[in-house]
Amino acid sequence: MDKTPTSPSVGLFDLTGKTACVTGASSGLGRHVASFLAENGATVIGVARREEKLSEWQASVPNNTYAISADLSNKAMLADIANQVIETAGNPDILINAAGINTRQAGDDVTPEAWRVTLDLNLTAPFFLAQSFVSGMKEKKWGRIINFASLQTYRAFPGGIAYGATKAGIAQVTRAMAEDWSRYGITANAIAPGFFNTELTAAVFADTELAERNAAQTCIGRNGELCDLDGPIQFLCSDASSYVTGQVLAVDGGFTAK
């Protein structure tokens, strides 16, 4: 008998025909994820505040993409933003909550306004956007919600009290989403990236010594490259992860393992 193991079906990871809404698509990890999904068969609606940057992203991807310029930190507008997404390309099958802000204020210096905008963008927007799209996902009996956690979901970093609070919160929101909605075929998971050189982490990578220390802290011995996100994103967005929900996947080269 031939006992040669068979390769996993390509269909398990196929994103063709899926519609994805990606927040933070104008730059950094959100932009890379939005482009990756579009290049792999999904229709992508990118949502971000900076219209010019968002237009640049859309022009860089030849596939079926749409752009919605909106301020996700304005919680009064979240329902309208969700409606724009649905009117543009239908209720998304996939929601990627990649938009985020880190004000990098020490505890003594955190202002009420900085606290508010961090909470609203990093924690409030992901939940209420997901809530807006869940009814459509329930009708299809299929949905994928991927939130962005962080190293600060697990660790305290200098100047990170507001950001860290929201990223710890996103882990619990992800578990609670899974508990509420996974019985309907909707999985909710989070990715916790390590150090990737993006606009959000520019200050970290501007300090060469610090960047090298961060790389040395990983098990792999380097900081993240954008392509390191591709496999985890494709897995969590596809049928391959149908029995995975409520989890936070650290894509950090083993930073949190040490």
All domains in the chain, ordered by first residue: 15-257 (3.40.50.720)
Instruction: Note the pLDDT of residue 7.
Output: 54
Q: Specify the pTM.
A: 0.94
> 10 Å Cβ neighbour count for 93?
22
Rounded CA gap, 114 and 126, in Å? Answer: 18
Residue 199, CA distances (Å) to 31, 195, 216 in order: 11, 12, 22
Pick out the chain residues at pLDDT < 50. Answer: 1-5
Instruction: Note the pLDDT of residue 199.
Output: 87
Rounded CA gap, 135 and 10, in Å? Answer: 29
Active site residues: 163
Instruction: Note the pLDDT of residue 203.
Output: 86
One DSSP character per residue, 77-126 reads GHHHHHHHHHHHH-S-SEEEE-------B-GGG--HHHHHHHHIIIIIHH
Instruction: Note the pLDDT of residue 100.
Output: 96
